[in-house]
Amino acid sequence: MKLRILLCLLAGVACGLAIILWPGESASLREAKAVNPYETELESVIAASERAEALRELMAATPQNQRVAMSYLLVNMPDFDREGMDLELLKENVEYATLVREKYSWAKSLPEDVYLNDVLPYYVVDEVRDPWRKELYELFSPAVDTCATMYDAVCAVNANIPRLTGVDYNTKREKTNQSPRESMRQGMASCTGLSILLVDAYRAVGIPARFVGTASWHDNRGNHSWTEVWLDGAWRVTEYYFPSKLDHLWFMPDASKATADDRNYAIYATRFGKADDWFPMVWADETEDGPVENLPKWVGAENVTEHYQELAYEQYTRHMEAGTHTFIRIAGYKDAAHVEHSDDRVAMGVDIFHGTEQMGGGLTAGPLRDMNDVFSVLVEKNRDYELRYYNAAGELQRQSVSLGEEPVTVSIFLNK
C-alpha cells in the first residue's frame, strides 16, 4: 500500500515537471490568449475565410506589438473586406495606428476599447478603402507634434484641415460618400465626405473620432453628417469648419426636433464592428426615395438622439433667457420684382457664416407655406454675418448682414 502511494506521488511530480519543462498545446494557447485576447476567435474567422493562407501569412508577418490590433480588425471587419480588401493597406493602417499610439501622450492614455474602436479602424462608413492613414499622418503630425493635450491637437487639426487637404464644401462633388483621396483629388466634398475626411484626420494622429448623422431633419430637407471626438471621457461635437466651442453647432435647433424612435429622424453615431444598432446610409439608396429600413445595415451605430436634444435645449434656452442672441430671418423669392405673393416665394438652400464658422443653414419657405412662416436662425447679437446660397445659374452668392440688437429679415433671390 505504501509503495502504491509513493508511486502515485512520484507520478504526480513527474506530470507537474513535464508541464513546466515541456508545455503542451493547451499551455501555449493559454499564453497566447493572455497576450492576445482575440486569438481564439481569430483562428475561427481565418479558418472560415476563402483566403485563409494569406491571412495566416499576414498574422505571421505582423510585429508582436501590432498583433492585438491586427487581430481585432480581422475579427470585427465586414466579411467582404476580410475576403477582398488589399492586405497591404491593412498592414499600413495598423503600423501607423500603432505609431501614433506610442508617440502621442493623449493616445497612450486612451482606454483600450476606445483606441480599438475609434482610432484603429481603417474605414468610417461605406467609402472606398483608401490607404489614407500614412498620408494624413504626414500631413497633420507637424501641426500636432507640439501639442500638449488632446484638446490642443483637436484644435490644430480643425484649424488646418482645409489648408492641408485643399478640400472645401461643395455640392458639385462627384458623390456623397467620398473617401479622403477622392475628396482631396477634387478639392471638394459635401458634408458626408467632409465628415469622413475629418474623422480620418483625427484618427491619423491618435484622436478618437466617429461619424454622426441623421437620415433626415424634421422638415424633410435631407440628411446631414458631422463628427464627434472623444475627449476627457466624453463624446464632443464638432464639424469640418471649426466651431468656436465644441458641442455648439449650427444645426442644434434642428437636432432638438429629432425623433429618437423614428429611424428617419433619429441621430446616430457609428461604431466599428459589432453593435446593437445600425447607421442609415441614405446615400446608398440610388432611388433616394426608398424606405429607410431597406438601407444597408452593416455599419454599426448607437442612437444618440437624446443627447443632442439635451444639448440643444440647454444651449438655445439659455441664450434666449440671457438676451445675448436674436434671429436672422431669411425669405427666398424668384426675383426682386416679385416679393408680394405666396407664389413668389422659393424654397432655397442658404447657409449663414460668421467668418469661416457656419452658424446655421436650411431652406427658405416655399410657395405653399404661410406668408408669416420665414426661415429663422438664432445667432449672437451685434456681429456681422454672411449668407451663402446658389442662384438659378448655379453661381454661389454671398450677402452680408450686420446684426444689431433686434431681429432682421433678409431677402434672397433665385434670379438676378
DSSP state of 106: H
What band does 20 get if pLDDT is binned at 50, 70 and 90? Answer: very low
pLDDT of residue 26: 38
What band does 410 get if pLDDT is binned at 50, 70 and 90? Answer: very high
Task: Identify any residues that bridge with 235 across adjacent strands, giving them in sequence order.
Answer: 230
The structural architecture, per CATH, of the domain 323-413 is Sandwich (2.60)
pLDDT digits (tens, 9 = 90+) for 336-361: 999 888 789 999 999 999 998 898 88
C-alpha cell at 31: 499564453
Residue of 347, 409, 400 lying closest to 377 (CA atoms): 409
Domain ranges of the chain: 1-27, 104-317, 323-413
Lowest mean pLDDT among 136-145, 167-176, 346-355: 167-176
In angstroms, the CA 270 to CA 187 distance is 25
Are 104-317 and 323-413 the same fold in CATH? no
pLDDT digits (tens, 9 = 90+) for 93-131: 999 999 999 999 999 999 999 999 999 999 999 999 999
Angle between helix axes 150-165 and 191-204 (nearest 10 degrees) is: 130
What band does 252 get if pLDDT is binned at 50, 70 and 90? Answer: confident
- Burial class, 44, CB count within 10 angstroms (exposed 0-12 / middle 13-18 / buried 19+): exposed
What band does 316 get if pLDDT is binned at 50, 70 and 90? Answer: confident
pTM > 0.75: yes or no: yes
DSSP state of 189: E
Radius of gyration of the chain (CA): 27
C-alpha cell at 204: 491619423
Fold adopted by 104-317: C8orf32 fold (3.10.620)
The 10 Å CB-count burial string (b at 16+, else e) for 318-348 is ebeeeeebbbbebbbbbeeeeeeeeebbbbb
Coil/strand/helix, residue 351: strand
In angstroms, the CA 402 to CA 382 distance is 7
User: What is the number of alpha carbons within 13 Å of residue 137 lying toward its C-beta?
Assistant: 21
In angstroms, the CA 412 to CA 414 distance is 7
